[in-house]
Structures are given as C-alpha cells and as structure tokens.
Structure 1
Amino acid sequence: MKPTKEQHRKFGRFHLVDPDELEGMDEFAEWLEALLHNPCSVWEEDGDEFLIEIRKLVARVNGLKIQIYANEHPPPHFHVKSPNVDASFSIESCEKLEGNIESQDYRKIRFWHKKAKPLLIKAWDETRPTECTVGPYKGT
C-alpha cells in the first residue's frame, strides 16, 4: 500500500509525495521545503528528471540509525550509527569496511544482519540511480 500524503508528512518524508497529489500553494511550498531539507537529489537522464534519495534511512530507533547512500562505492554496504557505533558493513557478508565498533557490538550486528539482509538488499536496490557505478545488488 502506498503511503498517504499525511503519512509522509507525519514521518518527515514529505519530499516523497507525488506532486500530482498536492493541493494549493501551501502544499507546494511545503514540498519545496522538504526537497531542500531532506536527503534527496534531482537526477536527469535522457532529458527526464527524477528524484532520488541520496541516502535511505533504513531504520531509526532512539539513537540508532541504519542508512544506505545512493551513488556509493563498491561493495554494496550499509552504515550503522549510534552512540557506540559509527561504521559501515558489507551487505553480502557483514564484514566491517570502516569505522569504529567494539567486538561485542559487532557480534550483535552480524547476528542481526543474518535476518535483515533481504531488507538491506531491497533498500540498496531502491536507492541506485542509473549512473551508480556499483548498480543493484548482485550477491555472490
């Protein structure tokens, strides 16, 4: 089911509202404000313009953020930021690519990754612009 305009507004994702659903200048101004202050970019391909998210917030719980950025370097990976963690990990193997993490927290992330991997792959593929050198997730 497609999120409603009100749901996008409630969760700070108004930049993802279909402009055909906007009513009046106030909502168009709200949409512009969301475009200017959210992690998105306008890309052009073959004369057509489209909006992509520069990074996708996969999840946020309290001080924890799990993010995937568009137009990233290989290999496909995700970022975890929390008070104790600031690191990136391979989607394929959960290998730590860079950053700081204690071994106890790393074991927990690897445990979590075993179940979350399909959702990470989906988020990665949803954020790939056509010019992305990495492209969609292919796995091994």
Structure 2
Amino acid sequence: MKKLPWKSENNVLNLLSKWITIMPTIKTIDNIKIDIYSREHPPPHFHAKFSEYEELIVIETLETYAGKMPKVQRKKVNDWAADNKQFLMEIFNKLNPRP
C-alpha cells in the first residue's frame, strides 16, 4: 500500500502551521515549561515559562531575547538547553520552515 505524502509527521506539521499556531511543550524541568511555537520570528528561540515569568531565549547563544525569570530557574533552563541545542533547532525548524 502506497503511503500518502500528506500523512507524514513533517507534512502534517507544515500544513497545520500555515493555519494555526502550534505551541508544544517540548520539555518540563521542575515546573518550568519549555515551548517552541510555530509561525515564529527569527532568531530561532524558545520560550521558558515558570509561574508568572516568561523568558524568550535564543537557541544558538542562550542569551535572553525578551522577558525574565528567576536566576535559579534560568540556570536550570540554561543547563538543559546547553546540552540540547541541536534538538531545539530541529524542533524550531520543523515548526517554522523557511523557504
């Protein structure tokens, strides 16, 4: 049986991201949510959310793009993200394909 081209995971994500914003939580670290949204602007970044705090962090440099969170939580995010930059970029690129 031939597989239909639109049935692959990447194609479904690409089709969905054109009409809706996808916001998967890709990791939770001690109540800190790491999210990457579709339909996002450069530079490639992720959202770290904790309680009422939210910080946007550039994947390549791990510098703050916007927002702020407590130092203890920021360090936990930084430690995890430093070991997972490639994974973060893959997810960002899947959800935000560039022509």
Q: Computing the radius of gyration over CA atoms, which structure comes out larger, 1 or 2?
A: 1
- Please, what TM-score do these two structures have when normalized by structure 2? 0.67
- Please, what TM-score do these two structures have when normalized by structure 1? 0.50
Q: CA deviation at 1:112?
A: 1.7
- Give the percent of matched residue pairs that are identical in Structure 1 and Structure 2: 29
Q: Which has the higher contact order (CA 8 A, sep 6+)?
A: 2
Partner of 1:115: 83
Task: Flag structure 2 segments of 5+ consecutive residues without an equivalent.
Answer: 1-6, 8-12
| Contact 1:67–1:78 under 8 Å retained in 2 | yes
**Counterpart check, 1:51 vs 2:16:** yes
One-letter amino acid matched to 1:104: V
Q: What value does the CA root-mean-square deviation take over the aligned residues?
A: 2.7
Q: Please give the alpha-carbon distance, in whole angstroms, between the structure 2 residues aligned to 1:98 and 1:118.
A: 21
| Contact 1:56–1:123 under 8 Å retained in 2 | no
Q: How many residues align?
A: 85
Partner of 1:87: 55
Secondary structure of the structure 2 residue equivalent to 1:81 = strand
| Contact 1:76–1:91 under 8 Å retained in 2 | yes
Residues 14-33 of structure 1 deviation map (CA, whole Å, 9 limit, x = unaligned): xxxx5xxxxxxxxxxxxxxx
| Contact 2:32–2:73 under 8 Å retained in 1 | no
Q: CA deviation at 1:106?
A: 2.3
